[in-house]
């Protein structure tokens, strides 16, 4: 392995960070515009049932205190400037600052997504290679049809059935949460046990896409000249498959890994909700159900940033793995 092209990588990262600025500006602006068009009234939400008996003057004062009497562009600008200082507002549903909510929950979501994605990548590669080895064989057809069926199955449905099977019928895994009820300490063993089902389901939801792409990539590579050349030289099947076909077949797949972040977030939204996993995706759903705008706005922005980071990662990987690609031309 040659030395990494740090200079080019840093330059690409810096360029992407710069181009992320307008994207995030537009997205946050859009978020505030949608909220402004919404019939939902933040004052009534804040005051709750107390708003029913309150007179107009009190409501107006509350509106002024909450700062929602001004046009949404001004509120957007205020939010933006204070967000740069680390103040994202206060979440009404969690009753704590938004930044704190994110800080507490981000690590659990990251853990869940990382484990699930790693499992999906490993398992997907194995299954994809096995399927591509003998196209049309029983194994290939089984893997392919299973992949299509799983791709069509809604992830929350799989999650519920998994809860039923593993937590209720077999009673081998906990049905949800981060730790057992009644235990207030977060230990490694507890978390690992509670992680298996959600991470497994999330991995299964990402698996079909990965398996099918690896199968396609390796299958195409097996029909190409370098592989035929390797076969003609009498290399072992193993080194043909793993050394030649897999290496060139995985290339297009690796570059797409980073672009799977949106699907991963979508999956996490549903899986965390089913398993009451205390991550930010579950918090997003809670924020949405109780129209907690500050939290929702911050989490939407965060997700957008994650997607952009994923795209950058994809391009960096592409440039590192494929010698034909020049990072400074991206």
Partner 1 sequence: MADTTAVTKTKTKTGPGAGPAWRAHGAARRSTHTLRLRISATLVAVTVLAVLLVPPLVRLDQQAVDLAAKLLPPSWSHPFGTDDVGRDLLLRCVYGLRVSLLVGVVAALAATVIGTAVGATAGALGGRADRVVMRLVDTFSSVPHLLLGVFIVAMFRPGVWPVVVSVGLTHWLSTARIVRAEVLSLRSRPHIDAAVSGGASRWRVGVRHLLPGVLPQAGLAAVLMVPHAMWHESALSFLGLGLPTHTASLGTLIQGARGSLLAGQWWPTLFPGLFLIIPTLAVAGLAGVWRERINPRRRSELTL
Q: At 121, phi and psi to the nearest 5?
A: -65, -45
Smallest distance from the beta carbon of 192 to partner 1, in angstroms? 23
Q: Are 37 and 293 in contact (CB under 8 A)?
A: no
Nearer to partner 1, 22 or 323 (CB): 22
Least separation in angstroms between CB 226 and partner 1: 11
Kindly state the smallest distance separating residue 272's Cβ from partner 1, in Å: 11
Residues 313 and 127: their CA atoms lie apart, in Å, by 24
Judged by CB, which is closer to partner 1: 31, or 201?
31
Taking the least distance from each CB to partner 1, the nearer of 200 and 219 is: 219
Q: What separation, in Å, do the N-terminal and C-terminal C-alpha atoms of the chain show?
A: 22
The least distance separating partner 1 from the CB of residue 197, rounded to whole angstroms, comes to 14
| DSSP conformation class of 330 | -
Enumerate residues 6+ apart whose C-beta is below 8 A from 242.
Answer: 129
Minimum distance of partner 1 from residue 125's CB (angstroms)? 16
Nearer to partner 1 among residue 132 and residue 178 (C-beta) = 132
Tokens of 69: 């009497």
10 Å Cβ neighbour count for 319? Answer: 21
Q: Are strands 90-91 and 96-97 parallel, antiparallel or unpaired?
A: antiparallel
Contact 197, 163 (CB under 8 A): yes
Nearer to partner 1, 54 or 66 (CB): 66
Residues in touch with partner 1 (CB under 8 A): 22-23, 26-27, 31, 34-35, 37-40, 135-136, 148-149, 151-154, 156-157, 160-161, 163-164, 168-169, 175, 209, 212-213, 216, 219-220, 222-224, 261-263, 265-266, 269-270, 273, 284-285, 287-289, 291, 296, 299-300, 303-304, 307-308, 311
Least separation, in Å, of the C-beta of 224 and partner 1? 6
Pair of tokens at residue 76: 């957007």
Q: Please, what sign has the CA dihedral across residues 261, 267, 269, 273?
A: negative
Q: How far is the CB of 152 from partner 1 (least distance, A)?
A: 4
Of 9 and 45, which CB lies nearer to partner 1 in the complex structure?
A: 45
> Is 40 or 64 the residue whose CB approaches partner 1 more closely?
40
DSSP string for residues in 56-115: HHHHHHHHHHHT-SS-HHHHHHHHHHHHHTT---EETTTTEEHHHHHHHHHHHHHHHHHH
């Amino acid at each position: 392995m040659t030395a990494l092209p740090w200079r080019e990588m840093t330059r690409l990262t810096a360029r992407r960070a710069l181009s992320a600025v307008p994207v995030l500006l537009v997205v946050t602006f859009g978020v505030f515009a949608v909220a402004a068009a919404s019939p939902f009234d933040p004052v009534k939400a804040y005051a709750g049932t107390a708003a029913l008996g309150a007179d107009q003057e009190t409501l107006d004062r509350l509106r002024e205190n909450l700062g929602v009497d001004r046009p949404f562009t001004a509120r957007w600008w205020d939010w933006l400037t204070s967000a740069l200082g680390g103040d994202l507002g206060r979440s009404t549903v969690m009753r704590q600052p938004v930044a704190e909510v994110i800080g507490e929950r981000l690590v659990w979501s990251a853990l869940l997504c990382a484990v699930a994605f790693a499992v999906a990548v490993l398992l997907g590669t194995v299954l994809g290679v096995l399927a591509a080895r003998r196209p049309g064989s029983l194994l290939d057809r089984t893997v392919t049809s299973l992949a299509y069926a799983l791709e069509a199955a809604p992830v929350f449905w799989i999650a519920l059935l998994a809860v039923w099977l593993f937590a209720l019928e077999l009673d081998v895994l906990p049905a949800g949460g981060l730790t057992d009820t009644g235990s207030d300490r977060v230990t490694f063993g507890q978390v690992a046990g509670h992680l298996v089902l959600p991470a497994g389901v999330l991995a299964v939801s990402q698996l079909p896409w990965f398996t099918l792409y690896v199968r396609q990539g390796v299958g195409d590579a097996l029909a190409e000249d370098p592989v035929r050349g390797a076969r003609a030289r009498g290399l072992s099947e193993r080194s043909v498959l793993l050394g030649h076909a897999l290496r060139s077949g995985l290339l297009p797949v690796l570059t797409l890994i980073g672009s799977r972040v949106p699907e991963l977030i979508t999956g996490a939204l549903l899986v965390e909700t089913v398993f009451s996993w205390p991550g930010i995706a579950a918090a997003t759903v809670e924020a949405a159900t109780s129209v907690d705008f500050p939290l929702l706005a911050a989490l939407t922005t965060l997700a957008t940033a994650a997607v952009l980071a994923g795209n950058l990662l994809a391009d960096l990987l592409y440039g590192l793995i494929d010698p034909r690609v020049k990072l400074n031309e991206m």
